[in-house]
Structure 1
Amino acid sequence: MEQPATFHDLEGASVYITGGGSGVGAALTDGFLAQGANVAFIGRSDASAFVEEMRDKHGRTPLFLQGDMTDTELLRATMVKAAEAHGPINVLINNAANDQRHTLGETTPEFWDWMIEVNLKAYFFACQEAARQMRDKGGAIVNFSSISYMMGNAGYPIYATSNAGITGLTRSLARELGPQRIRVNALAPGWVLTQKQMDKWATPEGLAAHLERQCLKEYLTPEDMIAPTLFLASNASRAMTGQCMAVDGGVVVSG
């Protein structure tokens, strides 16, 4: 998918993406590399083939740092390594998440803790380290939320709770970090049809029902998330912070 805009200030930027080797995260890695940014990303699964693909496509190799981002010390260490390779982080993209389906009745305290660690705690501590590196220099943080909690979706209450928390975190940190010229915004995708979604959750009936709720009658792809993320990461949105921008084909409308 050819991107409709070039954000010149992202050329040479030091960008760190969680989950940047698959799904939406891989599309974002591709998109930032196309802008001339230097990209580092963390992921649990081996992304060597993807790294080679990006090197061949862009002539530059993203820095893949394998690990589990719920390990806070490891997460922090990978962000320090990213800074050593590319300079202090200018842009943090908190993208990685897990929307494992579950119900209230079956949820155990252990599953609750794991879901919160993946979907909220890791976001918080990635922001903490990014803010440390951005201090007095400015920068942009984009936290991926979801319209799931805005819709009141059932089927994954901890995931919906986490995404509501991400929006709250975004607003609070925007206020705290604004004096340091650090902008913090959230991006709330609709149902983006990654391969994981198609393999695990999508059914013909569910897809049709969701499309009926969208104003725009086209399914969303990972590539649809690139340009909005680039916009929030770039100086094109220099006057925006503390916002949650829905990119959902028009399921949730406001104003």
Structure 2
Amino acid sequence: MHPGDLFLNSPQLSIHPSLKNRTVFVTGGGSGIGAAIVAAFAAQGARVAFIDIAEGASAALAAQITEAGHAAPWWRACDVRDIDALQRAMADAATELGDFAVLVNNVASDDRHTLESVTPDYYDNRMAINERPALFAIQSVVPGMKRLGFGSVVNLGSTGWQTKGSGYPCYAIAKSSVNGLTRGLAVELGKDRIRINTVSPGWVMTERQVKLWLDDEGEKALHRNQCLPDKLMPEDIARMVLFLASDDAKMCTAQEFTVDAGWT
């Protein structure tokens, strides 16, 4: 099942009227949580653009959205480590769709590593994926949001560093900085009615997570730590993102919203 299936085919999704025809840009939108977010916005009738390094998965998602009867998303294969390429893609998408009212900074990679193995080059590479693109994506959309007179930025954080997860110190550093980015820009952006919030997922059962990390010990950890018995899915994160992007959340800014089935 593709991450977008539940949103494109489920009648149980809440409808946010303010999201219809709203312009949305999602980084890392071709697979996993990002694909669920893209599909969720498409199902709301939003005009969606996304970038992802995974070209095959992105093309499949775009085709799925179109086949479901929604407007085809704008997308481009892009490596976010190349900030010039990221900002060019965002500018090109805005030229076609209009100024973006919503930005979802989702792109991330939680490759496992040890403290001893980290080199300066590896550290820089991790930050180039997990930290740096968010600020420059915000930089790109803010002028358009000012022209619109409003906007919503949703930064994807993580509960992994908050629960003292091990095996990814560089990822923990990058994700812990997301809250600082959100809090540090809230006043400046708020003057123009641009809201900025963090959504911090728990352990989400993406295809990658299930394949690489969900073993018997992982199942026990879910049972031991979550308050709710069900596994956390990409669409559960997308639902919170939709709310924060919509006018229903018009007075929510500078906050962290945790979706982790009660783990933290």
**TM-score between both structures, scaled by the size of structure 1:** 0.96
RMSD across aligned positions (CA)? 1.1
1:234 aligns with 2:217: no
Q: What secondary structure does 2:228 align onto?
A: coil
Q: What secondary structure does 2:185 align onto?
A: helix
Quote the Cα distance in structure 1 between the aligned partners of 2:74 and 2:223: 36
Shift in Å at residue 230 of structure 1? Answer: 0.3
Q: What secondary structure does 2:96 align onto?
A: helix
| Structure 1 ranges of 4+ moved more than 6 A | none
Decide which moves more: 203-212 or 104-113: 203-212
* Aligned with 1:21 (options 17, 30, 51): 30
Q: How many residue pairs are counted as aligned between the two chains?
A: 252
Shift in Å at residue 210 of structure 1? Answer: 2.7
Q: Tell me what 2:54 maps to.
A: 45
Unmatched 5+ stretches in structure 1? none
Decide which moves more: 98-107 or 130-139: 130-139
Quote the Cα distance in structure 1 between the aligned partners of 2:242 and 2:61: 20
Query: Does the CA contact (< 8 Å) of 1:34 and 1:58 recur in 2?
Result: no
Amino acid aligned to 2:218: G
- What are the superposed Cα offsets for residues 219-247 of structure 1, whole Å, 9 maximum, x if unpaired? 11111112111001111111110001000
Decide which moves more: 181-190 or 126-135: 126-135
- What are the superposed Cα offsets for residues 186-241 of structure 1, whole Å, 9 maximum, x if unpaired? 00000001001111222121232133101111111111112111001111111110
* Aligned with 1:209 (options 221, 232, 237): 221
Q: What secondary structure does 2:103 align onto?
A: strand
Shift in Å at residue 59 of structure 1? Answer: 3.1
* Aligned with 1:5 (options 14, 20, 36): 14
Q: Tell me what 1:196 maps to.
A: 208
Quote the Cα distance in structure 2 between the aligned partners of 1:59 and 1:162: 35
Q: Tell me what 1:244 maps to.
A: 256
Query: Does the CA contact (< 8 Å) of 2:197 and 2:256 recur in 1?
Result: yes
Alignment of 1:19-168 (within 5 A): 19-46=28-55, 47-136=58-147, 137-168=149-180
Query: Does the CA contact (< 8 Å) of 1:193 and 1:221 recur in 2?
Result: yes
Decide which moves more: 77-86 or 127-136: 127-136
Shift in Å at residue 132 of structure 1? Answer: 2.1
Quote the Cα distance in structure 2 between the aligned partners of 1:118 and 1:212: 31
**TM-score between both structures, scaled by the size of structure 2:** 0.93
Shift in Å at residue 49 of structure 1? Answer: 2.1
* Aligned with 1:178 (options 190, 193, 201): 190
Q: What secondary structure does 1:17 align onto?
A: strand
Quote the Cα distance in structure 2 between the aligned partners of 1:233 and 1:62: 17
Quote the Cα distance in structure 2 between the aligned partners of 1:207 and 1:64: 35
Shift in Å at residue 91 of structure 1? Answer: 0.3
Unmatched 5+ stretches in structure 2? 1-5
Identical pairs, percent: 38
Quote the Cα distance in structure 1 between the aligned partners of 2:184 and 2:145: 17
Amino acid aligned to 1:226: A
